[in-house]
Amino acid sequence: MNRHLLSAGDLDRATAVDILDTAERLDHALAGREVKKLPPLRGRTVVNLFYEDSTRTRTSFELAAKRLSADVVNFSAKGSSVSKGESLKDTALTLEAMGSDAVVVRHSYSGAAHRLAEWVHGSVINAGDGTHEHPTQALLDAFTMRRRLRGGEGDLAGLRVVIVGDVLHSRVARSNVLLLATLGASVTLVAPPTLLPVGVDAWPAATGFDLDAVLPASDVVMMLRVQRERMTESYFPSAREYARRYGLDARRMAMLHDDAIVMHPGPMNRGMEIAAEVADDPKRSTIVEQVTNGVSVRMAVLYLLLGGADE
């Protein structure tokens, strides 16, 4: 594996499968154990550098690092020197001077993680940069699909995945499209035309506007959150109309075949992109599983980046 994890597109098939296999092993190693802790990152320090609000990603990385016995420093922009005007570079160099081995960074600017990787000596893990990428989310989604539909082994060749909703603002969608294509799945993006990014034709995915038409032939439906905080103009007439055309409700869920699963990266807008009864469906919804799997996948990434000799 490279020194950094910046983009899901940087992973080749073998590396991606290795991460998923390692996550599977780590998950099994800890399952049902009294002591949920493993020693390989003892004495290593991981800094969570979060310039954007986050509940699950930050706690997930923190838990993953701690389960591997690393020391964790949590840094959030609020209440730090950032409010005094310190730049990303100065903040990162300050943290590195204190001896951090890896920086997990979330930033509202696309490309922030790439810039950071040029400045620091340790590993950089992209935990979300603007509307660009969120590679560990794509990995945990692939892990969840592989477990549910491929017996936890190999790649995702032939899997039919439809990603629905606010693709324009979604780093989750972009990372998923890149990783799923690498793993051999075929991806269809369904969204209102206003919420598809310019240049989506170049992505390794098909696009469509009619959700009902693609559901019967899908193994995985991934609903995206409508990111109102990133919307400066109106992209669709009303929430009701969006829900009617692109929301996943019980009627649409009934169109799926028996083994198909429903995913959502969270946090959800219940009643908007996903109906409550769908989100809570015990058989199809993997939303809670995704959170659990996130810890295993992030453990695997941290182990593969920090578990060996320094270069």
Assess contact for 122 and 96: CB atoms under 8 A.
yes
The verdict on 25 binding another protein (CB under 8 A) reads yes
The span of 5-13, 35-43, 201-209, 277-285 binding another protein (CB under 8 A) equals: 35-43
The verdict on 295 binding another protein (CB under 8 A) reads no
The verdict on 33 binding another protein (CB under 8 A) reads yes
Q: How far is the CB of 5 from another protein (least distance, A)?
A: 13
- If you write DSSP's letter for every residue of 262-301 in order, what string do you get? EE--S---BTTTB-HHHHT-TTTB-HHHHHHHHHHHHHHH
- How many residues touch another protein under the rule CB under 8 A: the total is 21
Looking at 106, 132, 169, 284, which residue is catalytic? 106
The verdict on 239 binding another protein (CB under 8 A) reads no
Q: How far is the CB of 35 from another protein (least distance, A)?
A: 5
Among 99, 208, 237, 307, binds another protein (CB under 8 A): 307
Among 38, 200, 255, 268, binds another protein (CB under 8 A): 38
Active site residue 136: no
Assess contact for 11 and 138: CB atoms under 8 A.
no
By beta-carbon proximity to another protein, the closer residue of 31 and 202 is 31
Among 13, 14, 37, 158, binds another protein (CB under 8 A): 37
The verdict on 29 binding another protein (CB under 8 A) reads yes
The verdict on 244 binding another protein (CB under 8 A) reads no
Beta bridge partners of 97: none
Full 3-state SS string of 1-39: CCCCECCHHHCCHHHHHHHHHHHHHHHHHHCCCCCCCCC
Q: Quick one: 5 exposed, middle or buried, by C-beta within 10 A (0-12, 13-18, 19+)?
A: buried
Active site residue 106: yes
Active site residue 56: yes
Active site residue 57: yes
Cβ atoms within 10 Å, residue 94: 13
The verdict on 151 binding another protein (CB under 8 A) reads no
The span of 82-90, 128-136, 238-246, 301-309 binding another protein (CB under 8 A) equals: 301-309
What is each CA distance from 8 to 134, 142, 199, in whole angstroms?
8, 11, 18
Q: How far is the CB of 258 from another protein (least distance, A)?
A: 31
Q: Quick one: 231 exposed, middle or buried, by C-beta within 10 A (0-12, 13-18, 19+)?
A: middle
Instruction: Using alpha carbons, select from 146, 173, 185 the residue that is nearest to residue 22.
Output: 146
Round to whole Å and give the CA distance between 115 and 44: 23
Residues engaged in binding another protein (CB under 8 A): 1, 18, 22, 25-26, 28-29, 32-35, 37-40, 303-304, 307-310
